[in-house]
Amino acid sequence: MSRVTVSGVEPIDPAFTAYVSARAEASAEAQGWSPALRERVLRSLYLLTAVHGPHERIKASTVATLPRQRAARAITRVTEVLAHLDLLDDDRIDPLDAWIHRRLSDVHPEIRAEALVWIRIVRHGGPRRRPRSTATVRNQVDASIPFLLDCSKRYRTLRQVTRADLTDWLSQCAAPHNEAVALRNMFKTLKSQRLVFANPARGLSLGARPASVPTPLSPEAIQTLAAAAEGDPALKLLVALIGIHALYPHQARALPLAAVDFTGGRLVHGNIDHPLDAFTRQAAADYIQLRHSRWPHTRNPHLFLSSQTAHSCTPVTIGWMQPLLKDLPVTAQRLREDRILEEAAVTGADPQHLCAVFNITPD
């Protein structure tokens, strides 16, 4: 039986409670939970399994009602343990679904219902249609909302939309490519679902894809970034990986701790194999020291950690990275582009050299 018990609470099935606690202990060991987190998770699981039978699933909404004294991380881990044991009834509201309904809240009800059919297929796929990423769903919904709101002022259904409506609308957009892609996709899907009689967007011109010409960062932006990085080890290492080694942001977030080879003096992972310069070496050493002091028990193999991922084996998300750069006059993409432009200026813009160093295509 678990060493963690709750005074006055006797489990319905002690063997079931002990089994769940043992699996949680195994997760704690594998993922390097701190002693305090382990204690909170075991106590929470004891409370939940004490009043549930072995074949009874536990609602996620019930897990969320646990005492919340510094319990946000504990609730996440409790949910993961129950899900892994197939004991979770996940009745939580889908955040993306809630966001979509908020964005469509002012659209005419019938038009909203038609648009939701399209969005559902974009999200979950259909015959000969693969599901798209959350980012794609958000981008397409955002691009279509202004048109749907405009239609709601005049029409009750998207069956009333004409080709002229679409061309007039797009002519008012400053950069209509994204809007045209979303609207063509929407009407094509609605036609396939027989929700519109004809596809008014068929053959609709997409216009030119928005182009961005990389430009070097200004000296003032570089100075501001350097000053901010000196006071934040995570930001300093991120700047080194993107601004010196020109890693994509997702590559930096997914980089394993073992990629920093201090002995061999290289940054090595997959098709990345770069000499470890003095700035990156010091930035990595400072951050790894902070990492070890803040999460001494972690088993997460990734270089960058957050308070959430330190108790799992997953990499940090873009939501971890964005706040680091939020108040700075530069994005991660601009920082990477600046590094490539700098290398191009030094080497005479030799495309073969740039492709070899930064793993980019000639385009």
Residue 280 located in a structural domain: yes
Whether the per-residue pLDDT at 210 is higher than 60: the answer is no
Residue 55: what pLDDT? 83
Whether the per-residue pLDDT at 120 is higher than 80: the answer is yes
The candidate with the shortest Cα–Cα distance to 115, out of 79, 92, 145, is 145
> Which of left, alpha, beta for 171 (phi over 0: left; psi -120 to 50: alpha)?
alpha
What mean pLDDT comes out for the span 184-196? 94
Residue 209 located in a structural domain: no
pLDDT in tens, 137-173: 999 999 999 999 999 999 999 999 999 999 999 888 8
Same domain as 299, residue 224: yes
Residue 233 located in a structural domain: yes
Same domain as 265, residue 185: no
Same domain as 114, residue 60: no
Give, in order, the Cα–Cα distances in Å from 253 to each of 128, 327, 358.
33, 20, 17
Q: Which helix (H) or strand (E) holds 88?
A: strand 88-89
Residue written as tokens 């974009």? 122
CB neighbour burial string for 114-149, b if at least 16 within 10 angstroms, e if fewer: bbeebbebbbeeeeeeeebeeeebeebbebbbebbe
What mean pLDDT comes out for the span 228-250? 91
Please name the amino acid found at residue 263: T
pTM > 0.85: no
pLDDT in tens, 249-267: 889 999 999 999 999 999 9
Task: Report which DSSP code applies to 328.
Answer: S
- Distance CA(11)–CA(16), nearest Å, equals 9
Same domain as 166, residue 36: no
- Name which of 42-46, 209-213, 349-353 the model is least confident about: 209-213
**CA dihedral over 325, 330, 333, 339, signed as positive or negative:** negative
Same domain as 319, residue 238: yes
**CA dihedral over 271, 277, 283, 286, signed as positive or negative:** positive
CB neighbour burial string for 72-86, b if at least 16 within 10 angstroms, e if fewer: ebbbbbbbbbbeeee
Same domain as 144, residue 271: no
Residue 160 located in a structural domain: yes
Q: Which helix (H) or strand (E) holds 268?
A: strand 266-269
Residue 198 located in a structural domain: no
Residue written as tokens 């990492």? 291
pLDDT in tens, 335-348: 888 787 776 666 66
Same domain as 311, residue 224: yes
Between strands 58-59 and 88-89, the pairing is parallel
Answer yes or no: are the C-beta atoms of 55 and 61 closer than 8 Å: no
Same domain as 119, residue 237: no
Between strands 260-261 and 88-89, the pairing is unpaired
Any alpha helices (H) in the chain, and if so which ranges? Answer: 14-31, 35-50, 60-63, 72-84, 95-103, 109-124, 134-152, 163-171, 177-192, 219-230, 233-243, 249-254, 278-294, 318-325, 332-347, 351-358
Residue 214 located in a structural domain: no
- Distance CA(11)–CA(8), nearest Å, equals 10
What mean pLDDT comes out for the span 215-231? 85
Same domain as 102, residue 81: no
Give, in order, the Cα–Cα distances in Å from 251 to each of 248, 254, 269, 335.
5, 5, 10, 14
Three-class DSSP category at 19? helix
Instruction: Give the residue from 69, 89, 109 where a domain finishes.
Output: 89
Residue 1: what pLDDT? 37
Count structural domains, the chain. Answer: 3
- Distance CA(300)–CA(295), nearest Å, equals 10
pLDDT in tens, 5-64: 555 678 888 999 999 999 999 988 888 888 888 898 999 999 899 888 888 899 988 888
Indicate the average pLDDT of the chain: 86
Task: Report which DSSP code applies to 271.
Answer: T
Same domain as 153, residue 64: no
Same domain as 188, residue 133: yes
Instruction: Give the residue from 175, 193, 211 where a domain finishes.
Output: 193
Domain span holding position 145: 95-193
Residue 2 located in a structural domain: no
- Expressed in percent and rounded to 5, the helix, strand and coil fractions of the chain are 55, 5, 40
Residue 339 located in a structural domain: yes
Percent of the chain at pLDDT > 70 equals 88
Whether the per-residue pLDDT at 351 is higher than 80: the answer is no
Same domain as 181, residue 161: yes
Instruction: Give the residue from 89, 117, 135 where a domain finishes.
Output: 89
